[in-house]
Amino acid sequence: MGINENARLVLEKRYLEKDDKGNLKENAEGMFLRVATAIAESDKAYDKNADVDSLRDRFYNTMANLEFLPNSPTLMNAGRPLGQLSACFVLPVEDTMEDIFEAIKQAALIHKSGGGTGFSFSRLRPKGSTVNSTGGVASGPISFMKVFNTATEAVKQGGTRRGANMGILQIDHPDILEFIDCKKDGKEITNFNISVALTEAFMQAVENNTEYELIEPKSGICTGKLNAREVFDKIVMSAWRNGEPGIIFIDRLNRDNVVPSQGRIESTNPCGEQPLLPYESCNLGSINLVKMLRQNKGGNYEIDYDKLGGTVDTAVHFLDNVIDANRYPIDIIDKTTKSTRKIGLGIMGWADMLLRLNIPYSSEQAVELADKVMGFITEQGRAKSAELAKARGTFPLFSVSTLKKKTPMRNATITTIAPTGTLSIIAGVSSGIEPVFAYVYVRNVMDGTEMIEVNPILKEVLIERGIYSEALMRRISEEGTLAHIEEIPEDIRRTFVSAHDVAPEWHIKTQAAFQRHTDNAVSKTVNFSKDATTEDVSEVYLLAYRLGCKGVTIYRDGSRESQVLNIGKVNTGRDGSGADASLKETADKCAPKDDGAPGRILPRTRPEITNGITERVKIGCGNLYITVNYDEKGICEVFTNTGRHGGCPSQSEATSRLVSIALRSGVDIDTIVEQLKGIRCPSTIRQPGLKVTSCPDAIARTIQKVAHYQNGNAANKPEPVAESADADDDFFTSPSKIRYCPECGTKVEHEGGCVVCRQCGYSKCG
């Protein structure tokens, strides 16, 4: 198998079956065989004499050769007791208290099973409206989003996938301005991606700089008017500030709604690529385009369309079988999903394929190829679905009179381009249709040494040119791009561009080319440099509208720079600029202050910038991440975050807050350590092999290590894990604030409307 070591580690951590003690029960090959066996069995429902063994082998080989991979829940759960195989669901939110809390209950069941959920809150009456049944006043959609968010936080998806939501509000809802700003401070609604549903009428009003109407959802009555351009600019400003909200063009989703008789599409899955009717779910999978290449007689690479076509056929058959093999968390989802049998076949490795073909990502040649490749995949997929329809029957809602598709089809939709964060790690290729985020990674390994990992295609080219060296790779890693490294030939720099080398308009041109041949939608993040302006964001949104995209997600590098930066290196900021100068400027403000009250000392003010180290410690109920920050006057702050497996977050936070106050009040570090060290917790001491006795004991030991390190004992330096935010911020769950993985400390990548860690497979969106 072609799985690299990093992919194997990700599989072992997140995908492979384990026993009750956490010991592995299967390897990668075993996982693929388990999945192939379970999915092939669905053929028996249509043909008792089906050659299931042959089909199992075909499914297995396609996955084991990394030519096609289904979405994560299928890899995790197929052939296992849970059996929930879908990645995404959409639930309706009606305007009654009973329906709202029914949706919360249903979402909890879905999150528990490993799925993500999308909601439109556009049906809820606006804030301040009269509630006839009680005579009270409605609290509005944003208040209920907070309730959904809290419920999501409480449900941990079996320790493998965190709950993720999409929250959508239509542009003409009276509470739209509050919605645009609902994630402004990054502390609330942290388990949601949010998007504004823009209508064609609104976009026309934007271009004409005219007003548009706000509509009360229940009565349909106009309650006021706003200037469209001003509201559009507010959306742009918010996205520029922290990446949210995204936008979806809701009328385009419904233009392509193949079963309009069943209702209107109001929402998508968490990353925006899969529009769904209420109670629909989707099964996604992606073809690895790098595996669809062959070398011609001249040694150059070219696309093997015969192999691509065969892989599409296998993938469509596989995904249709998933619909039957699936164990749905709610009966109505089972019924609704099987009534349309939507599947979403996409791709990964697009950028790596371009590298092999020596085609720059930012080129008309690449855009034209995107058009050709996706056109081929969709047409081939539709042909396979039509073939399955002849053997198995069309999806139940198929009817020429109600459908826009006239050819009898097994599946209402065929193609979707999803983010492939962890799947692309397993396959060892670039994610989805995104450009390569970084060509060189420097990873920390267990003994504290560093290991350089280089994009294999770049490494191969540089070795062929005779210019590969570790020093050059470190420079590429530090700069994040090849663009300004003159010793690398210009033709290589022109082709090997990273995400931030790609001008925003090329991101959109690429997305639009794929969207032209995609039944559902395309997940894509437009990366902006830190110094991009709101005008740059506005131009991209308008270009996406004019080129026919169905939605846009942007991320400006360094968004939310006002947050506290805690860094592994003690003498520089994240970008290499000196943090010491800033510390020196604030040092005079940091001493403890006497407020004049007898015997009472106020803690010194927390410095605006600190240096720090985060250590991951194994405790009895999972992992505890302990961050110890310091400035010129010494350790000044401690805070903690529990891993996804649980723990006692409130008690750990209380301990860290009190320790922080004590430190800034001048209490001796040894005294603090003495009080905490040795405290015992039953969940920890009953497990052999752990190095601490409780969370407070772990906190004390990390403080002690950092104190020793500050005193010149470098051997006691804890391994840097994460760049962390202030203790009051929900750093580990807010996409706009995640920069470094909360589980392994590697810098994360913003792609496909989400974030992903290329080292350990952590993803905010599951």
| Residues classed as catalytic | 269, 271, 273
User: Is the Cβ–Cβ distance between 656 and 640 less than 8 Å?
Assistant: yes
686-696 as b/e: b if 16+ CB within 10 A: eeeebebbbbb
Tell me the DSSP string of 334-381: HHHHHHH--EEEEEE-HHHHHHHHT--SSSHHHHHHHHHHHHHHHHHH
Query: H-helix or E-strand containing 112?
Result: helix 97-113
Compute CA distances 240 → 178, 534, 736, whole Å: 17, 6, 11
By DSSP bridging, strand 450-454 and strand 440-444 are: antiparallel
Secondary structure (3-state) at 554:
strand
637-673 as b/e: b if 16+ CB within 10 A: bbbbbbbbeebbeeebbebbbebbebbbeebebeebb
The C-alpha atoms of residue 412 and residue 336 are separated, in whole angstroms, by 12
Name residue 199's beta-bridge partners.
none
User: Is the Cβ–Cβ distance between 439 and 496 less than 8 Å?
Assistant: yes
Query: Residues 151, 168, 757, 20: is their CA dihedral positive or negative?
Result: positive
Compute CA distances 693 → 483, 677, 743, whole Å: 50, 8, 21
Strand residue runs (E) in 77-221 = 88-91, 116-120, 130-131, 136-137, 156-157, 161-162, 165-170, 192-198, 211-215
User: Is the Cβ–Cβ distance between 143 and 100 less than 8 Å?
Assistant: no
Token pair in block for residue 715: 């051997």
Tell me the DSSP string of 25-78: ---HHHHHHHHHHHHHGGGGGT-TT--HHHHHHHHHHHHHTTSEEE-HHHHHHT
Token pair in block for residue 513: 């080319």
Token pair in block for residue 382: 């539709």
The C-alpha atoms of residue 515 and residue 535 are separated, in whole angstroms, by 24
The C-alpha atoms of residue 606 and residue 591 are separated, in whole angstroms, by 9
658: amino acid identity, one letter: L
Secondary-structure breakdown of the chain: helix, strand, coil percentages, each rounded to the nearest 5:
40, 20, 40
Q: Which of 382, 268, 285, 288 is nearest to 78 (CA)?
A: 285
